[in-house]
Amino acid sequence: MDDRNFTFLFYGFAAAWGILAAYVVTLASRESNLKRQIENLKRMLEDKETSKS
Amino acid sequence: MPRPILSSALAAAGGLWLIRNLHVVTLQLPDEAAQGAVYRNLFFHVPAWFTCFTAFAFAGLAGIAYIVRKRMVFDTLAVACVEAGVAFTLIGLATGSIWARIIWGIWWTWDARLTWALITCLVYFGYLMLRESLDDPTSRARISAVFSTFAFVSVAITYKSIEWWRTQHPGPVLDFRTGGGQIDKAMQSALYHNWGALMLIAAALVLIRMRQEDSRRELEALRRYVHAQ
């Protein structure tokens, strides 16, 4: 049997797992980014309220 | 059950199921007589397409539900389903192209199925880009709901294209579409098992993405509040 069959089988599996992994990494980085931004805004609001009082 | 625990449980179950399926596909099933080992790509290719079709169907239904009920949770569900669906669409396109390189001798051809599959992928990329361009959450939800409802037409055409136009892409082989006799039972079973596993993983991704959309709305509300101060 043609060895390229196995090479391309590997490419196919690697592509499937790679795309899935890339999406999970994107989700994780977006999540940490969102959390950081929310924390920053909450801190900014607290600072504003403290300086007002 | 809280969403983080549920998404972790679904991802773990899906992952374990995939490992079991990989064992079956690589070590128990024989090579296909004409295609050799590379046909095993189809155990990801076909389930990935079924998974994205299911995700896009849920997005369409969520779109209709938003139009009728005007509840943000449906918009959240729709965007999460579309994003997960796009990831599985890319897997379907990539694995199909790699399989075609060996079996057809080409990476790509503009046959009916492949062209509609690409159009579907671009339509849902368009949905995600459209959302990013709309700042007002209510307008974004309303326009996205209409978009996701009508975008499903492209999914339906992609699904039926191998029956309507007999071009390069192989025709349907699964029993529920042909009435039986086109595919070995063990191979068909492995395909369904992988679809089940990918569906669990997709459900986990949808739950995670829904949580992020909630956080994004919280962030937008906080920004508006800060600007109003």
ipTM score here? 0.91
Give the mutation candidate from B219, B220, B227 for the A interface (greatest A CB count, under 10 A).
B219
Nearest chain A CA: its distance from B212 CA (Å)? 6
B29 touches chain A (CB under 8 A): no
| CA distance linking residue B51 with residue B149, whole number of Å | 18
Domain total of chain B: 1
Give pLDDT tens digits for B19-63: 999 999 999 999 988 899 999 999 999 999 999 999 999 999 999
Asked whether the beta carbons of residue A13 and residue B44 sit closer than 8 angstroms, the reply is yes
The better pLDDT of the pair B218, A2 is held by: B218
Q: Which range of residues forms the domain containing residue B38?
A: 3-228
**Residue stretches of chain B with pLDDT short of 70:** 1
CATH number at residue B207: 1.20.120
Q: Is the pTM of this model over 0.90?
A: yes
The strand pairing partners of B36, in sequence order, are B32
- Whether the pLDDT of residue A35 is over 60: the answer is yes
A27 touches chain B (CB under 8 A): yes
Q: In this predicted structure, what is the pLDDT of residue A1? A: 47
A38 touches chain B (CB under 8 A): yes
Nearest chain A CA: its distance from B51 CA (Å)? 13
Q: In this predicted structure, what is the pLDDT of residue B198? A: 97
> Residue A4: which pLDDT band, with cuts at 50, 70 and 90?
low
